[in-house]
Structure 1
Amino acid sequence: FIAKLNAVRYAFLELGIDNGIIVARTDSLGAGLTQKLAVSHAPGDLGDRYNAFLDVEEVTASTLGDGDVVIRREGKLLRPKRLASNLYQFRAGTGEERVVLDCITALQNGADLLWIETEKPHIEQIAGMVDEIRKAVPNAKLVYNNSPSFNWTLNFRQQAYDLLAAQGEDVSAYDRADLMNVAYDDTALARLADEKIRTFQRDGAARAGIFHHLITLPTYHTAALSTDDLAKGYFGDEGMLAYVRGVQRREIREGIATVKHQNMAGSDIGDNHKEYFAGDAALKAGGNNNTMNQFG
């Protein structure tokens, strides 16, 4: 991993890139397995610290089996637990510590920004790890993925539930496991959760040092949802009105360039080329009678 960071930095130098940014991502929080054991040359070095997270059992020379892999730490022979898949297992509950080690190591070896993958959008969890990282690298900055993989509604309603319960509020009207239920949409808890979602980016920047919020593949979901909405209307009672009212009319009134899809496909550029090479004999896609002119 460190070699890859060095290689990217060297590539920047070779290519004359003065403003290149290296973002180092870690998935250690949710990763319970590893393919490799780290190389250690001395107690307390990076490899030794990494191997300390492995789930191991102490063995002796007499209890070793053929093909067993062992490491020596603090005078003991330790056999990492290896699964049938040939992967080694980390000790449960070490995810955050491994994230911190990953991030400090990356920043100290050429990375500019961090990307920590988490299993839920929880600012205090993120902040706790960043606080530890900043003890070693005070100016550490984080890229965070506001991932569509999270169930944002359920996560934040459960966080709101826990907050209200901790404050001594009566939450008996809510089923924590069923907070996605539409019956809760107009409740005080749901409004609190939505407000926390609305301010998530601002709060994450202030509390957890998140320098840049990104959101992966949102257009995958918007494309699917809009297509589903259109199909239900177009093949239902609305017919063509589903497209006109739901899509085209909005494109026109909101100034969305895609309403002139011919231009977006490059027809005007093609016409310019044809006219340049063929003059008056050019057979162009555009012209006074082109339907695109209906849109101004």
Structure 2
Amino acid sequence: MTSRRVAVISEFGDPSVLRIVQEDIPDPAGDEVQIRQLAIGFNFIDIYQRKGDYPLPLPTGLGFEAVGIVEKMGGSFDGFNLGDRVAYMNAGVGAYADRRNVAADRLVRVPDAIDNETAATVFFKGMTAQYLLRRTHAVQPGELILVHSAAGGVGQVLSRWATALGARVVGATGSPRKRQAALDAGCVAVVDTSQEDWPDAFLKATDGEKARVVYDAVGKDTLVRSLDCAAPFGLVVLYGASSGKAPAIDPELLNKKGCLFLTRPSVFPHNVDLARFRSNAADLFDAVTRGHVSVEVGQRFSLDDIAEAHRAAEERRASGAIVILP
């Protein structure tokens, strides 16, 4: 039996509830492989779960995505061998570890052209962008879209990929200091949602044109006013809640705002089916190798410093993606 280091929480709370423990990891079961992890991705949902906003049974690990090397196999699996470099993002929580057993049908091989940090930081965020841009709405050339949190990890991927698809992207950020990161991600203009009149600033930047799609990951502070930025018969996509739970929307308001469509999707249902999961991943990896998708790594933290990584993210001190190195 091999030993591993893993981050766990036994109660919900601030980052101090995270602690690193050393424990034995059993050999992989018949449907699993054991991975020595090389880079671990960080996502805002990790914070929601640590705080108990999205409660998990305790005690629990955290983290959804990582890249690593297959060290042990519980069986024979088509497409996988010892020594392969693999990634996952939908194997359940517990990625904050230096080793992990993962069901083989939750893994994809990482192309040689994509390095560990890129794969670990782009996979969850990129798979989120993939379903938003390809399935929630198939973005078309020339469409105007508004992307909230455009300087964040998912926001940068969304903005770059949508731009590569020919869309015109206006970004929204929560502070003016993040403006340049959004512009660097391909946004043609950026509005500051910390300003009360930010929907007016959006319309000024677009000469009065409203967005075919609004991608809102902020929730509480922005959703109602996001409706004001959507064109008639447009789509508002609420896929996160970084400012808190979004308010309930009266369906009649959607009618009054222009017969709008409102949806609340998430990444995991779009990737339950194995064939679709691997097809979506192939689409993402193709976009990465073509240069259509990239992630700016804002900060790197060791696994031992995972609590500080959470503080940096929660206090909005990190622009771009955070990567955890075991």
Query: Do the structures match in fold with TM over 0.5?
Result: no
Structure with larger Rg: 1
Larger proportion of strand: 2
Query: If the TM-score is normalised by the length of the shorter chain, which range does it land in?
Result: under 0.3
Larger proportion of helix: 1
Q: TM-score, normalised by structure 2?
A: 0.23
Greater relative CO, 1 or 2 (CA 8 Å, sep 6+): 2
